[in-house]
Structure 1
Amino acid sequence: MAVLAEAGKKPNNISISLYRAVWRWHFLAGLFVIPFMINLAVTGGLYLFKDEIDDTVFAYRNIVEPQGQTLAPSVLSENARAAVPGSKIVRYRVPADPSHSVRVTVGTSTENVLVFVNPYSGAVLGTVAAENEFNKVVRNIHSLKYFGFVPNRIIEAVGGMALILVVTGFYLWWPRSQTGGVVSVRGTPSKRVFWRDLHAVTGASAGALIFFLAISGMPWSGYWGEQVNAALSSAGMGYPTKLWDDVPLSTVPTKDVVDHAGWTVENAPVPASNTASKGENVSLDQIVTATNEAGMFPGYEVSLPRGKGGVYTAAIFPDDIARQQTIHYNQYTGKPLIDIKFSDYGIGGKAIEFGVGVHMGQYFGLANQILMLLTCLAIALMSVTAIVMWWKRRPSGRLGVPPMPSQTSVFVMLTVVILGFGVAFPLTGFAILAMLVIDQLVTRIPSPLKRVFS
């Protein structure tokens, strides 16, 4: 009977150890990502409504009254250039509709400046340094681009950690005969259980969408995104490399020419103009006319040639991803060298563009924006509830890391599984290993930190 009793306890002990192991990893991952997740949620929520912000807060420079015929692009761009002494024209954005202004990017020796011009009167409506434009600032804070190379790469690790948090969070939430904290919230705000349940119920409700946001944001990450992009392109599942077979190429990637390239084509090399046909440059007016005749969706932007071998590049990456298009023109003849549309992308490129489009609230209108906004709010709420829950639980003067399970083999096996995320996302893997090393050093080596971390 004693043997049977011990046998009966063993699964329960394993279950308890597994729960503690999952809880410990959930806590450690949360400790690492919470500040970043709050930033991602706030800036991501703002960026979902970038067009609405432009058309309301910055309506004075973006919205115009339609007045019949518009002036030629060359006239409008020259007015913009004159508004910034010593500048040269870099890009010209065609209005998305008759009620929007033209945006011309001009460059000086120190910076690019966005100049907004009324397409009917030619009047300059406003100027702003390209790096200070509101939505650009939000985007750069979102990616931590302002803070240098290392923080920018940390965001990639955070994305992988968010996946771990969702998976471990679902395990911790899973009903185990408790009467609350599954779909209802117990207690009052003065009680820790209230914050625990609010955290768990919110996570269970929004977990799948948070997982989607994390995984669909990874293609824009510095290391992982570039590797996947290169792998898909070489396998014929990204941009159609065969279009580049019969044209002279430069070493400049598309993302260095256009203001904001689509993910699939951002690393595609820009073709070069054949200088053997060098002569009088084709005008911006001719390129805009040719692009309109090619059927490109309004709102596209034309980048002017850089140097003797440069090309005109007309590109648009609108909310409707099926209308993505990039055309490169020979600057001397106006001949289209490459014309690539969304329909030309491989299956991998199309799938990722779809994920990115939904992630940015672009794919199915206002409903998409609201759904992603609610997910951002859920992330912010979960981060705040996690902090409050931890504060109420932690022992005085200590961090309150959940205890190591009694069966350390369970923790080891779970760690191996979690390292699988590190194989898929290398920078996340480095973060996991770093956390594991710090955790083990603190718990195994006697020091004041051991008490703090307990």
Structure 2
Amino acid sequence: MTALTDPPTSTQTAPPDTRPSSAEPNGRGWFRAFLLRVHFYAGILAGPFLLIAALTGGFYAITPQLEQAVYAKELHVPAAARALPLSVQVQAAVKAAGGATPVTVRPAPGPEDTTRVLFTDPSLGESEYRTLFVDPGTGTIRGDLTTYGGSGALPMRTWISNLHRSLNLGEPGRIYSELAASWLGVVALGGLVLWIDRIRTRKRPKKARPASGRARTLWLHGTTGTILLAGFVFLSASGLTWSTHAGANITTLRSDLGWLTPAVSTSLNGQPAGQAGDHSGHGPAPAPTGAAADLTLYDTVERLARADIITAPMIDIKPPATAGTAWTVTEAGREWPATASAVAIDPAAGKITSRADFDDFSFAAKLTRWAVAAHMGLLFGLPNQLLLLALAAGLAAMVIWGYVMWWKRRPTRGRTWAVGRPAPRGAFIRGPWAGVLAAITVMVILGLFLPLLGWSLLGFILLDAAIAAAKRRRREPAPLR
């Protein structure tokens, strides 16, 4: 960031400026000056959102281990010699729930795990379910907790997840995370361009690692950002799929390109299968309407699914939401190389009515599922979590280093409102018309696809113009009387 100095007066002499100009009217300098200015404003104003997202995201990365420790009683049981039929386990949960009809059953994936039986509850929020945990060997209810979404997040992980997504402020709070995700990729890529340009244009060899001061902070900022660039871009792109405004545009784009995840058809009259999303926030099906009153059908449905393409230990069994529709069984695991195959079943006829084999998914649909699981720290287990922690720590450090550099080279001390000037104003509009037009086109497209990025970028421009106007007024001499 370039320090802002006042024009010399009769009692004040300005030192000569030996720095190279960063805003040649018709050279490449115009774009560098513009990029530097956007990078500066995004770092100063979007930095707090990025810092919060980094800290809460790092916290979320360790929730699998925390969940296993905090909810060990609900999640785990001594291994039994033989498990009870699934229908008996479900019956125990239904009795404990006062006769309510389950919306989803997740049989115990291992001999020391519990079976989850999910029920709707009008007192709970969207995608939240009352979940009873059943000992497969004895039918004993081990716990009664609220779980969230298709991933079955327990209360602690749900709270941390909502902290990361919306600061636990509900829908309005999601603006913060969408702003952070929107700017993260732009700031990271723009920073790479600036860093490469800085290295390429150095006139004399320098030490690879400056000893101290702002130069060292800049070296740490640039080097760390370059090393972690791919991770930052990945977090930005995958995080935006959860967002409100940009996420809707991404879903529309995926639909237009045929990249949505195939889903089975639950119709029993031969209708074609549809498509579904991929996020853990998508909860179980709506409450059944009496079609699943015969609990012995759970045994039939599980047997038919296991005899077909369903092989994963963790599965979700959903009874029909309405009369005349099929049961569905979906592989629920997200670790590598878990799949997401699904089948629709008519237990009365004893047959599979529709199937969606993960091996037949398009590469884009598979990639989306893998990306979501990796963003959640579930794809590769502990290595995935450690990588997310490293990215979170790196992003937090990048934001802090950015503020340190701004403070060390802040405007003239004593100015209460100045925020600094990283490059001369007006460099962008003095560039070659073709380049300026191309840059404006890219900004408009990005702004339309990522609305919060577009509106905040417009806010940066208006803020910069307001600061420039205020400075001009301060420098204008007082009228003579």
Change (3 A) 1:347 1:386: same
**1:295-346 Cα distance to aligned partner (Å, 9 max, x none):** 3311112223334355433222421355112223347546433321222222
User: Deviations along 1:245-287, whole A, 9 cap, x unmatched?
Assistant: 985669998679x97559xxx9xxx89x9x9x99968722222
1:149 counterpart = 2:171:
yes
2:66 paired with 1:60: no
CA deviations on 1:158-198 (whole Å, 9 max, x unpaired) are 323111101221133231438899963531xxx44443333
Which amino acid is 2:305 matched to? T
Alignment RMSD: 4.2
Q: Provide the secondary structure at the position in 1 that maps to 2:103.
A: strand
Is it true that 1:198 corresponds to 2:220 in the alignment? yes
Q: Percent identity?
A: 23
Q: Which amino acid aligns with 1:94?
A: P
Distance 2:264 2:80 in 1: 45
SS of alignment partner, residue 387 of structure 1: helix
* Alignment: residue pair count: 432
Residues 1:38 and 1:123: Cα distance change in structure 2 (over 3 Å): farther
Q: Which of 162, 165, 190 is the matching residue for 1:140?
A: 162
**CA deviation vs aligned residue, 1:103-125 (integer Å, no higher than 9, x gap):** 22223332332222221122222
Please point out which of 21, 45, 50 is paired with 2:58.
Answer: 45
Give structure 2 stretches of 5+ with no counterpart.
1-19, 149-153, 476-481
Q: Quick one: higher RCO (CA 8 Å, sep 6+), 1 or 2?
A: 2
Distance 2:95 2:293 in 1: 26
| 1:292 corresponding residue in structure 2 | 306
1:76 to 74, 82, 89: 89
Q: Distance in 2 between matches of 1:83 and 1:447?
A: 73
Q: Find 2:460's aligned residue among 421, 435, 445.
A: 435
Q: Residue 247 and residue 173 in structure 1: after superposition, are their counterparts in 2 closer, same or farther (change >3 A)?
A: farther
SS at match of 1:108: coil
Counterparts of residues 54-133 of structure 1 (less than 5 Å): 54-85=67-98, 87-111=100-124, 112-130=129-147, 133=155
Q: CA deviation at 1:69?
A: 0.7
Determine if the alignment matches structure 1 residue 213 to structure 2 residue 231: no
The aligned counterpart of 1:4 is none
Q: Which runs of 5+ in 1 are unaligned?
A: 1-7
SS at structure 1 position matched to 2:123: coil
1:298-377 alignment runs, 5 A limit: 298-309=313-324, 311-318=326-333, 319-320=335-336, 323-330=339-346, 333=349, 335-377=351-393
Matched residue type, 1:207: L
Aligned partners of 1:417, 1:120: CA distance in 2, in Å? 61
TM-score of the superposed pair, with normalisation by structure 1: 0.78
Aligned residue runs from structure 1 range 373-384, under 5 A: 373-384=389-400
1:409-454 deviation per Cα after TM superposition (whole angstroms, max 9, x unaligned): 258935655445335534422332233233324433679999xxxx
What SS is found at the alignment partner of 1:109? coil
Taking a change above 3 Å as real, the CA distance of residues 326 and 180 of structure 1, as seen in their structure-2 partners, is farther
How big is the shift at 1:92? 1.2
Residues 255 and 305 of structure 1: CA distance in aligned 2, closer, same or farther (over 3 Å) = farther
Partner of 2:47: 34
Q: 1:253 to 1:144 in 2, by over 3 A?
A: farther
